[in-house]
Amino acid sequence: MEMDKTMYGSRELEFAIFCIENVASKLNVDAAKVYAALTEQTDILNEYIIPEYEVLHTQSKEYIVNDIIDIMKERGVKL
């Protein structure tokens, strides 16, 4: 796997972890599977979650999780 050369701040990384863990919890799957879905099956992490951090982190946990799950469904993610 090639490393993404984009540098993120600690806030964005902490938010990404928050998103992954909470989506995994809601879907009752392992966080590693969600991470793979957001980075290998799709690029939702780098194309949506991180770039939209400033807006997303102001929303409720429920909104964020449901939004990410909706995007995963739209992109055909299989867990």
Q: Which regions of the chain are under pLDDT 70?
A: 1-8
User: Tell me, what's the pLDDT at 43?
Assistant: 94
Q: Count the domains in the chain.
A: 1
User: Tell me, what's the pLDDT at 6?
Assistant: 56
pTM, entire model:
0.87
Report the run of H or E that residue 17 belongs to, with start and end. Answer: helix 10-27
Q: Which domain holds residue 24?
A: 10-74
User: Tell me, what's the pLDDT at 9?
Assistant: 84
Q: Is residue 38 part of a domain?
A: yes
Q: Is residue 52 part of a domain?
A: yes
> How many CA atoms lie within 13 Å of 39's alpha carbon, on the beta-carbon side?
15
Q: Is residue 54 part of a domain?
A: yes
* CB distance 13 to 49 below 8 Å: no
User: Tell me, what's the pLDDT at 5?
Assistant: 46
- Tokens 């992109």 found at: 75
Q: Is residue 1 part of a domain?
A: no
Task: Report the candidate in 46, 53, 52 with the shortest Cα–Cα distance to residue 4.
Answer: 46
Q: Is residue 29 part of a domain?
A: yes
Q: Is residue 60 part of a domain?
A: yes
57 Cβ contact partners less than 8 Å away, ≥ 6 residues apart: 11, 15, 64
Q: Is residue 3 part of a domain?
A: no
User: Tell me, what's the pLDDT at 14?
Assistant: 95
